[in-house]
Structure 1
Amino acid sequence: ALAVSIVGGFEGLRLAAYPDVVGVATVCYGETRGVKLGDRHTKAECDAMLLKGLQEFERGVLACTTAPMPEKRQVAMVSFAYNVGTGAYCKSSVARLLNAGQPAAACDALLKWNKAGGIVFPGLTRRRQAERALCREGL
């Protein structure tokens, strides 16, 4: 439920496909896989797509994170992976630092991921700050 609210809030809901800031066809809550401009979905379809996507990204995060994570840190990592992709998460300094037992540094490293196409976006900066705050809860 927390992941749905966080990711859904940052991604926003768009029922018709549109090009994102770097030109990738995107629909619903930031879904890009298999999307073509002109695609349309109902809110119910988008909600189901978000839940399925979050489950897939959670599996990806858990597959490459060996360190134990409290629930809120895990939600922050799933939100991050949903936005940048599981491959990027798994190869990131964020995952490396978590796995090295340095959760505070890992949470802080999220802030470096505020660019799309090499350009800093205020929305990504806000998202990373929120993910960092969630990640650091309990440290």
Structure 2
Amino acid sequence: MATVTPSPASPDTVGADSWDGGVPPAATAVVKRLEGFFAQPYDDNGEQPGGTWTIGYGSIVDAAGHRVTPQTPAITEAQAELLLRRDMGGAARDVQQRVHVPLRTCEAAALISWVYNLGVGNLAKSTLLLRLNAGRKAEVPAEMRKWVMHEGRPVLGLLRRRWAEAAIFLGMDPTQACVRAWREIDDLQDWPAF
């Protein structure tokens, strides 16, 4: 099994791998892989009440700017790509506005995926952001791990997603991170070494 040894990202080592403020392809790739494509609106809470209606690759707002509901018309994969680019652009702007330290592209990709899933409000109030802005990047993966709850209960799928995002933050290839997360995490106590 391949492991990644992260290299510390300090302002003088970021260099050519510095995030340019856009949406890194790795962020889009991981969101597409984790969210999956759905042409029809679906309740992301499954059988449980109180979920959020989404469409495409997890968009909660349609192309006209309306919240997705069960009555939202089906979309094509090309339309879902446009919604995803729009939404990921918003997540990238949120990360850029709130993170005050230089980021490597892989770090930005992981944070954009995290914000896409959890929202900028959660980023703004998180210890993760405090640690990151204090230059304590080594603590970010452990902070990501804390965000696995849904309605007060830990969820295995969210733990896998957080591990994949943490691995990407450290520099792992996004496809490898997603595959390993689903292959190696079978229990809420699992958190494999990167």
Q: Quick check: TM above 0.5? A: yes
Q: For structure 2, list consecutive stretches of 5 or more residues without a partner in the other structure.
A: 1-24, 62-66, 173-194
**Cα deviation, residue 136, structure 1:** 2.1
In the other structure, the counterpart of 2:70 is: 37
Pairing 1:48-63 to 2, within 5 Å after superposition: 48-63=82-97
In the other structure, the counterpart of 2:129 is: 95
Question: Among the aligned pairs, what percent are the same residue?
Answer: 30
Select the residue among 101, 109, 124 that pairs with 2:143: 109
Distance 2:154 2:125 in 1: 21
How many residue pairs match? The answer is 138
Pairing 1:1-12 to 2, within 5 Å after superposition: 1-12=25-36
Deviations 1:89-125 (A, max 9, x none): 1221111110011001122200000112122111111
Larger RCO, structure (CA 8 Å, separation 6 or more): 2
Select the residue among 25, 30, 46 that pairs with 2:53: 25
Answer whether contact 1:25 1:37 (CA < 8 A) is retained: yes
Q: TM-score by structure 2 length?
A: 0.68
Over 2 Å off, 4+ runs: none
Q: TM-score by structure 1 length?
A: 0.94
Aligned partner of residue 54 in structure 2, secondary structure: strand
Answer whether contact 1:15 1:28 (CA < 8 A) is retained: yes
Q: Which structure has the greater CA radius of gyration?
A: 2
Higher helix share: 1
Answer whether contact 1:113 1:128 (CA < 8 A) is retained: yes
**Cα deviation, residue 137, structure 1:** 2.8
In angstroms, what is the RMSD of aligned CA positions? Answer: 1.3
